[in-house]
Amino acid sequence: MQMLSVAPRFCGPPGTANGGYLAGLLAQHAPTTVCVRLNRPAPLAAALQIVHGDGGHFSLYHEGQCIAAVKPATLDLPVPVAPDYLAAMAASRRFVGFEAHPFPRCFVCGPARVRGDGLRIFPGACPEGGLDLVAAPWVPDLALGQADGKVSPEFMWAALDCPGYFAARADRVPMLLGEFTAHVDRRVHVDEPCVVIGWRLALSGRKHEVGTALFTEEGELCARARATWIEVRGHPGPAAQS
C-alpha cells in the first residue's frame, strides 16, 4: 500500500492542498506523462492512499472518497514565445492578487506568503505577449531543490498551476483546478531565474481551459502544462478577501 501526505505548507484554498503540487506528487508515481483529475480538495496532513488500477491508471483516496484519478496522457500544446525576464517582472507588477486575492496564503501565488516559504509567483497581464498572456518571474529557492541542485518535479508542477488561473480571468472569482496534465522537459536549477507564463485556450460554461509554461531566463522551454479550471458554483462575483 502506497501512502502520501501533503504538509500544511503546501496549501491552496484554506485547509486543502495546492492542486498543482498534489498533481506533481502523484505524477512521480507514473513512468509517463499523466492527466490528473482532481475530484475534491485534498486535506492537509492527512493519510492519503494510492490505489493502482490497470493500464497505468491509479487513484488517490481519503477515508473512502476518491480525491484524484490519474491516467496516462499525451500533451499536445503549442507554446507561445515567452517574454523576456524584464518584461515578466513588469507584468508581475500588474498582478491583480495584490489588490485582493481569493486564497492569499496559496503556496504558489499567495501574496501573504514570505520569501522562502511560498513560491511567490505573481502573474500579471503581459500585453506585448498577446493571447491574453500573463507572465511572472520566478527564482526557485534552495528549499525546493534535491541533492543534485535541481528543483524537485512537484514544485515545477506547482509553478505551472496558478498562472493558468490568472490567465483564465482577471476578476479574482474563485476557481478550483479540475484537470492538470504537465510535462517537465528539464528540471531547472535552484536560484536559476525563470519566466512562467499562462494563456487562455477555451471556455465552456464554468470551465476554463488554459496553457502554462516555464522557461529559463534565456528562453529555453523547461516545462509546460494544460489545465482545466472550474468556477466555484454560485459565487456572486469577484472575491473581496485580501
CATH of the domain at 59: 3.10.129.10
Residue 80, domain member (yes or no): no
Are residues 91 and 12 located together in one domain of the fold?
Answer: no
- Total structural domains within the chain: 2
Are residues 159 and 130 located together in one domain of the fold?
Answer: yes
Residue 30, domain member (yes or no): yes
Reply yes or no on whether the pLDDT at 57 is more than 50.
yes
pLDDT for residue 236: 47
What is the extent of the structural domain holding 194? 85-231
pLDDT for residue 242: 26
**If you average pLDDT over every residue of the chain, what do you get?**
93
Residue 242, domain member (yes or no): no
Are residues 34 and 103 located together in one domain of the fold?
Answer: no
Residue 239, domain member (yes or no): no
Reply yes or no on whether the pLDDT at 148 is more than 80.
yes
Are residues 68 and 179 located together in one domain of the fold?
Answer: no
Number of H helices, E strands in the chain: 4, 11
Residue 199, domain member (yes or no): yes
> Residue 130's pLDDT band (boundaries 50, 70, 90)?
low
pLDDT for residue 184: 97
pLDDT for residue 239: 41
pLDDT for residue 119: 98
Mean pLDDT score, 91-103? 93
pLDDT for residue 1: 72
pTM: 0.93
